[in-house]
A and B are shown apart, each in its own frame.
Chain A
């Protein structure tokens, strides 16, 4: 149960609205992903939408899910589990509503075909202003709140703070093309765009990994695990990967060779972390963890497996000789989807269900629990097929000699059909989880009186 520093429902529900909005974004994201796949395979279907509209909606909703779930967790955990009152509680509500309005404006811009940036931020750059403003508010609020901590900082405080600061930096970098010095050199503009996206992923990884450390500490009850030198070593390596690891995206951009070489060396250093993580993972399988916070534990457990699979792939595609063939193929899509769904989504679902299990107690039962459980298995099994199909399609693109793009595109259609069908399974599984979680996070399901009544 929540160990709140105050019993009022404002504190208990702190950040929960962000989590609900994040879950809604995830539901929308996977739906748009399916529509995008249909449009890719059958261009004449869905005649009111074009692929270049569907893809940014899908991508933006995925980014929203990751950030909203992580932000919601941080807003929730600090006052409820660390006994730290938010320094600026009102700003959390302002942050939420500005995010909602900005999100709707971005969606409208995409549907009207009004673009400006690219990839994660393909909307007109003016819409970034409210995101900048609310992120500054969020950063000030959280950093000042963590500053009140009387104990030495656990590693997840460092990760959250680093994620917050570096999101601001990378989000700023993604807008440097508005300055002529950057825009007038096309190679510089292209390199920096992808530098910012790579580092952006590093910044959200910091928020997500910090959340994972918090959830694991909470489940195990081991207060020391977030203070060990090893935890900080992982933090430092993740920090360096955030700074430099982006360069495996730009091996083919004609920037200076040292930019690519440095990225290669750092990516290879991750082999050492991989070995360490596998060792720790084997050590962490204790019976207590399997039974306490079962649903939350399962998601974290699943993320561990996806970490191994994705790290192997990430390291492979960081080798320039392999990247030469894999870049620009569906192997890269498998890498992106594997990390966002397999790692980030599983960890964040672990966080969501930690909140659900602690807020709702015994009321998290019946169909809610059953849907979460079944959704977990359906989504993970579908994800195996989903990523497998992408890997086969990507390998065909990379290693077979094709006459032209169109012959290659035609040859991988069966793989993309498999990918789409497994995508339907993935959507079904994730929606079951989303519906189960949202229904438990609505105020009526977890008011203190309701919990007491449920316990009786």
Chain B
């Protein structure tokens, strides 16, 4: 028989189509905001700045990203840290983080972005609730 066998071709197509349906569900209901907060224009500009300065190389959001610096998910809504604490680091940098020479409005946008991710979710491993069958329930 020449080329791919029919049943294997069918299987490939079935999985391929499933992937599209699955992806469509992730793009819509899987990531719908529902009761979560809506991002402001400033937060969206901050998201772009976070990407364009490759902050992801060193920092994490929801535990995703690099390890040079701390996870920033809840840096703004943490009562011990907060927006002014974050602003200070962004403005002057540290020995581990360069001063990116951002303007005041850009720093406001970055803080708005960080405020949003903190309001939308939590990343504190110590506060997750572990179920008996191995999954974790996070506070939103």
Contact = CB atoms under 8 A, between A and B. Distances in A.
B33 A194 contact: no
Contact of B138 (A51, A243, A252): A252
Contacts of B11: 236
Interface residues of B, number: 66
A304 interface: no
B71 A328 contact: yes
Interface in A308-366: 319-325, 327-330, 333
B56 A118 contact: yes
A106 to B, nearest CB: 13
Main SS of the interface on chain A?
Answer: helix
Interface stretch (A87-95, A255-263, A429-437): A255-263
Which interface residue of A321, A324, A327 has the most chain B CB atoms within 10 A?
A324
A183 B2 CA distance: 45
A323 B47 CA distance: 26
Contacts of A253: 62, 64, 121
Contacts of A177: 51
Interface stretch (A4-12, A70-78, A152-160, A282-290): A152-160
Given A118-B51, A186-B117, A252 B39 contact: no
Nearest to B59: A52
A115 interface: yes
Contact of A115 (B15, B51, B62): B51
Interface in B1-38: 1-5, 8, 11-12, 15-16, 18-19, 22-23, 26-27, 29-33, 36
A420 interface: no
Given A52-B55, A56-B54, A149-B3, A232 B62 contact: no
B128 A324 contact: yes
A55 B44 contact: no
Interface in A40-86: 40, 43-44, 50-53, 55-56
Contact of A195 (B8, B26, B136): B26
A19 interface: no
B102 interface: no
Contacts of B111: none
A321 B30 contact: no
Given A236-B11, A243-B18, A122 B135 contact: no
A173 B125 CA distance: 29
Contact of B116 (A118, A186, A195): A186
B134 A190 contact: no
B135 A321 contact: yes
Contacts of B130: 320-321, 324
Contacts, number: 181
Given A115-B52, A192-B26, A254-B140, A328 B60 contact: yes
A117 interface: yes
A393 to B, nearest CB: 10
Given A153-B5, A192-B31, A252 B12 contact: no
B95 A43 contact: yes
A187 interface: yes
Interface string A154-194: 00011000100100010001000100001111111111101
Contacts of A378: none
B68 to A, nearest CB: 5
A147 interface: yes
Contacts of A209: none
B88 interface: no
Nearest to A253: B62
B67 A328 contact: yes
A315 B5 CA distance: 33
A118 B58 CA distance: 11
A240 interface: yes
A70 B33 CA distance: 40
7 contacts: A115-B52, A119-B56, A153-B5, A169-B19, A186-B116, A190-B61, A329-B67
Q: Which 10 A-B pairs have CB atoms at the shortest separation, nearest pair first?
A: A254-B121, A405-B70, A188-B31, A328-B63, A52-B57, A115-B54, A327-B63, A252-B62, A118-B56, A320-B136
Interface of B: 1-5, 8, 11-12, 15-16, 18-19, 22-23, 26-27, 29-33, 36, 39, 43-44, 47, 51-58, 60-64, 66-71, 73, 95-96, 98, 113, 116-117, 120-123, 125-126, 128, 130-131, 134-136, 138, 140
Given A152-B3, A329-B67, 7 more contacts: A40-B68, A55-B68, A122-B56, A151-B1, A169-B19, A249-B64, A256-B32
